[in-house]
A and B are shown apart, each in its own frame.
Chain A
Amino acid sequence: MNLVASFARRLLAAGLILLVASVLLFAALRVLPVDPAGMSIPPAATPAEIEEARRQMGFDRALPAQYAIWLGHMLSGDFGRSVHLGRPVASLLAEAVPATVELALLAMAIAGILGLSGGLLLFVLRAEGGRGEAGEAIAETGTVLLMSVPAFLWALLFILVFGVVLEALPFTGRLDADLARPVVTGFLLLDTLLVADTAAFLSAMRHMVLPAFALGIAVAPPVMRVLGASLIDVYHSDYIRQARLRGLSETRVLLGHALRNAALPTLSVLGRHFAFLLGGSLLVEVIFSYPGMGSLMLDAVRNADLPVIQAVGLTYCAVVLAVNTVVGGLYLGLSPRPMPG
């Protein structure tokens, strides 16, 4: 009961944050020196026609009233129409969001696996039986160096090595040109599995290897560090000594007992770094011509396409809040300790 109430409170807080974010986004984009009404009608329009368009779009009213109208539209599912592409923003988002979510989830999984193995490696290097201080210095310097390469540079290096030099993997788009795209849910990986189209599924996976690894490898180092540190903390607790006294092997103590408890702080780090991962995905999508929210956003930003910028910006915000809420809930659910408050 306590758990449900706590989760509900987090959900409510996330909703309020989203609301405030929408106010900020709206205000920030209203001070722009561009006129969406002027851009949405033919250049030959008379001043009177421009004025008419401005009134229709509500630009002659006070800012709070404009915000209320805009929020009402957003809540009723009407995200407006792209000035640049001439299509409803809702349908643009319906195509872009699943692509980004698939990429981000795959990248999170990769970051988790890399973080787990790296964290164990860090711990082994640091452990008393290992190389001691020298091992620790090498391990820490290594993770700092890994942290110094942002996702978009990994993406470019991967393209150079695996795409251009080795010609091992594709690095543009989502599917080979000769394959048809099945549409069931909008999630490409899921759809190809649902219609049992193995060729398309494998092609889609091959297209996602480089972008997902570029994103995952950039988020993995903090995960490694936190896992390594929390393993060291866990090893000071009594139950590890107990397990050793019971005669369990060191490997079983590490993998069976210590890792389970050290995984909890790691999970929350992964959740907190999701915003960075999503931000990184924007650039990675652009570099790999991957048709997700990032490509849509950058296109809109370059063309000052306000309805798209507002809707995609808010969607990014909603995705981050949703993931943080879910990870927070998982943390609460898995945590053996009583929670404060």
Chain B
Amino acid sequence: MSWVWRWLFPRWLRSGRVMIGLALVLPVLVLAALAPLVAPHDPQAQDLMLTLQPVRLGSPFPLGTDVLGRCVLSRLLHGASLALWVAVMASLGAMLLGTALAYAAGYLGGWVDWVIGRAVDVWMSFPPVVLSLILMVGLGTGSTSVILAITLVDWTRFCRVMRAEVMLVARCEHVAAARLLGLSHWRTLLREVVPATIPLLVTLLALEMGIAVVVEAILSFVGMGVRPDQVAWGQMIADGRDALYQAPANLLAPVAAIIVTVAGFNLLGDGLRRTLDVRLVEGAR
């Protein structure tokens, strides 16, 4: 029976933080994927006779309505789809760009490492929000632009940490052995270096998802994120702020959604860091 147990609960899962993180993230992911099916109303449908309804569970509008009479719950669910779509795509994008450069810098060293290191320095000298806003000016609004902007800003998070890890792994004996056996650089990298860095990559990816959710919310909040016809949590916050006195739930619902989602990804990432035994020094170069 013990193999069933081990199969159901592998080592990386045996941590309170990983479990709580998954317990927060998985429902959000499922609801986001099923938003069009489970949302009680069309998120854009206005009912100007029923504006700023209060929270009343069991009513047609469980979380009330906003200033245009739109269902807050439906908007929350559709906002989740957008937030997680952006988070997944942007995190993968940042991961691909950042780790590709990190493998190049850490494995090849020399001037390649120097150039990539200085590029990271330049990027890090901008506050991330400022850089993403500037990029959004150039890219124009829309979810694809948001994904691109987050990718182009946050690749440094992967690059900084992965470069150090790749350098450590590249000095290991099994890498030297692979080279001595006559494997090409490319095969050595793919077969000996990349697998050793996967745990760190998974951890960073989980943390980046949370960051991407926040950045998307920030950009949509200031009106520089998705297009006005898309439903986003940041936009709901901006609308809810104007109805702060009449219907605080309009503001609190998306704020709570962001905090729960981000906390889920952060707990997951932090727990994985422990169970996968990743040396992740906070903010280390």
Contact = CB atoms under 8 A, between A and B. Distances in A.
Nearest to A23: B122
A108 B255 CA distance: 25
Given A17-B121, A304-B137, 7 more contacts: A20-B122, A153-B255, A156-B237, A164-B248, A225-B282, A280-B129, A283-B218
Given A160-B248, A222-B283, A302-B224, A17 B122 contact: yes
A147 B282 contact: no
B122 A160 contact: no
A286 interface: yes
A20 B267 CA distance: 37
Interface stretch (A38-46, A91-99, A234-242, A313-321): A313-321
A152 B259 contact: no
A159 interface: yes
A144 interface: yes
Contacts of A313: 126, 130, 134
26 contacts: A20-B118, A140-B270, A144-B270, A145-B263, A145-B266, A145-B267, A149-B262, A156-B255, A160-B252, A222-B282, A275-B127, A276-B127, A279-B127, A279-B128, A279-B130, A280-B127, A280-B129, A282-B127, A282-B133, A297-B133, A301-B222, A302-B223, A302-B224, A309-B134, A316-B130, A321-B125
Given A141-B17, A152-B218, A160-B251, A320 B127 contact: yes
Contact of A21 (B125, B129, B210, B262): B125
A278 interface: yes
A20 B121 CA distance: 10
Among B17, B121, B248, max chain A CB count under 10 A is at B121
A71 interface: no
Contact of B221 (A148, A269, A283): A283
Among B128, B251, B283, the one with the most A-chain Cβ atoms within 10 Å of its Cβ is: B283
Given A17-B122, A148-B263, A286-B222, A272 B248 contact: no
* Chain A: number of interface residues, binned into ranges: 35 or more
A24 interface: yes
User: Of residues B124, B134, B223, which shows the largest number of chain A Cβ atoms within 10 Å of its Cβ?
Assistant: B134
Contact of B241 (A14, A140, A156, A280): A156
Nearest to A268: B283
Interface residue SS majority, chain B: helix
Interface in A127-181: 137, 140-141, 144-145, 147-150, 152-153, 156-157, 159-160, 164
A31 interface: yes
A297 B131 CA distance: 11
A8 B263 CA distance: 42
Report the interface size class on chain B: 35 or more
Nearest to B261: A148
B186 interface: no
Contacts of B251: 156, 160
Contacts of B130: 278-279, 282, 297, 313, 316
A196 interface: no
Contacts of A272: 283
A273 interface: yes
A28 B263 contact: no
* 8 A-B pairs closest in CB distance: A279-B127, A279-B129, A148-B263, A148-B262, A278-B127, A150-B214, A316-B130, A144-B270
B141 to A, nearest CB: 11
B138 interface: yes
A275 B282 contact: no
A156 to B, nearest CB: 6
A87 B172 CA distance: 60
A301 B282 contact: no
B146 interface: no
B245 interface: yes
